[in-house]
Amino acid sequence: MTAHDILSFLISGEWISGEEMAKKLAISRAAVWKQIQVLRQRGYEISASTGKGYRLAKKPDLLDADRIFGCLKTKWLGRDMRISAQVSSTNAVALSLARDCQSGTVILAETQTQGKGRLSRPWVSPPGGIWMSIILKPKMPLTHVYQINMAVAVALCRALSSILGLEAGIKWPNDLLIRELKICGILMEVGAQVDLLDYAVVGLGLNVNNDPSSLPAEWRLTSLAAELGHDIDRCDLIARILEEIEVAYENMGSKEIYEEWRSRSLTLNRQVLITSVAGDKVGEAVDLAEDGALLLRTGDELKRVLAGDCIHLRPLEASCERRDEQKASYEPRA
């Protein structure tokens, strides 16, 4: 018997007597009281009244393994879950553990002190967000890792749509936007032999109850709470996200995932600025290939772009002819 068993009686918010819980769990009332204290120490506000028993007055907005497991329906994803109050970066922790733990292990933290974004950018990770890394060990050539990204991005969109009714789109390669504002970033890091994947660490930074207005406006961020006007139960959301990721991952590489990833694209048919190690390119994103490449039309040329950073441009800016004029006048949209 754990505190979670007691929590499952209280979660409805109704009064329930210590005696009833003790009877149902075949334990003493003193044991019930002990677990009530454990929950209070974890931040649960529990009212007590003679005659009525106990009632959950307020759930804390804290990551709680018991609460996540209480609603998690996955077969293997998240069955090993490690939650910390603070880490440098959940991706860094996952990378350090990856060789010695099973595929599907999940690392979560309330805050990160050195959260990593793509292209070595910092990722600000205050309390209230979901900062999560998943260790995955599919048997696949290194060249196929884009399939993991696609599956995870699609799964996240499905989760936000089905649980919260929010439709997110995908900015190539894998940012999730709502109303052109970034709600989620994905950072995948891998360990591999020459061309065979050993493990992938998929890091998700999802703005949930954290306040995006405390961050620079030019980052153009939003959060689920800002979109919905109320806080979200992160434990429930994590469970549902993991369920969607498990389903999409098991279907990874399929036409269905590719087509959904493509149809959710906000980049397709847009004028974009692509920055990559190969330099900057402005053009029209005319297609997205099955291997995740962006097909960019620049003048008469069609280029395949496999990696890089993408900025959605206003049509006027992209039609500027001189390269330096474009650079001077573009304004990131997201």
Of the candidate spans 68-76, 117-125, 296-304, 313-321, the one that interacts with ligand BTN by CB under 6 A turns out to be: 117-125
**Binder to ligand BTN among 4, 59, 82, 118 (CB under 6 A)?**
118
Cβ neighbours, 10 Å, residue 124 = 19
Measured from the CB of residue 110, what is the shortest distance to ligand BTN in angstroms? Answer: 12
Measured from the CB of residue 39, what is the shortest distance to ligand BTN in angstroms? Answer: 28
In whole angstroms, give the CA distance from residue 132 to residue 73: 18
State how far the alpha carbon of 234 is from the alpha carbons of 42, 127, 225, in Å.
Answer: 16, 11, 11
For 216-250, letters b (16+ CB in 10 Å) and e give eeeebbbbbbbbeeeebbbbebbbbbbbbbbebbe
What are the structure tokens assigned to 98, written together? 């990856």
Measured from the CB of residue 91, what is the shortest distance to ligand BTN in angstroms? Answer: 4
Cβ neighbours, 10 Å, residue 93 = 20
In whole angstroms, give the CA distance from residue 215 to residue 302: 37
Q: Is 22 helix (H, G, I), strand (E, B) or coil?
A: helix
Measured from the CB of residue 133, what is the shortest distance to ligand BTN in angstroms? Answer: 5
Nearer to ligand BTN by C-beta: 7 or 151?
151
Measured from the CB of residue 44, what is the shortest distance to ligand BTN in angstroms? Answer: 26
**Binder to ligand BTN among 9, 54, 131, 199 (CB under 6 A)?**
131
Nearer to ligand BTN by C-beta: 175 or 284?
175
Burial of 321 (0-12, 13-18, 19+ CB in 10 A): exposed
Pairing of strands 106-112, 81-87: parallel
**Binder to ligand BTN among 35, 105, 112, 271 (CB under 6 A)?**
112
Binding characters for ligand BTN, 169-198, by CB under 6 A (x = yes):
------x---------xxx-----------
Closest CA to 265 of 175, 144, 188: 175
Pairing of strands 53-58, 271-276: unpaired
**Binder to ligand BTN among 89, 147, 267, 326 (CB under 6 A)?**
89
> Which residue has its beta carbon closest to ligand BTN?
185
Number of residues that bind ligand BTN (CB under 6 A): 21
Nearer to ligand BTN by C-beta: 121 or 304?
121
Closest CA to 318 of 308, 310, 329, 306: 329
Measured from the CB of residue 118, what is the shortest distance to ligand BTN in angstroms? Answer: 4
158 binds ligand BTN (CB under 6 A): no
Which residue has tokens 């149902």?
Answer: 24
Binding characters for ligand BTN, 194-223, by CB under 6 A (x = yes):
---------xxx------------------
Measured from the CB of residue 309, what is the shortest distance to ligand BTN in angstroms? Answer: 9
In whole angstroms, give the CA distance from residue 169 to residue 181: 10
What are the structure tokens assigned to 306, written together? 């496999």
DSSP state, 105? Answer: -
Cβ neighbours, 10 Å, residue 282 = 20
Measured from the CB of residue 84, what is the shortest distance to ligand BTN in angstroms? Answer: 12
Measured from the CB of residue 241, what is the shortest distance to ligand BTN in angstroms? Answer: 13
User: Residues in the site for ligand BTN, rule: CB under 6 A?
Assistant: 89-91, 112, 115-118, 121, 123, 125, 131-133, 175, 185-187, 203-205
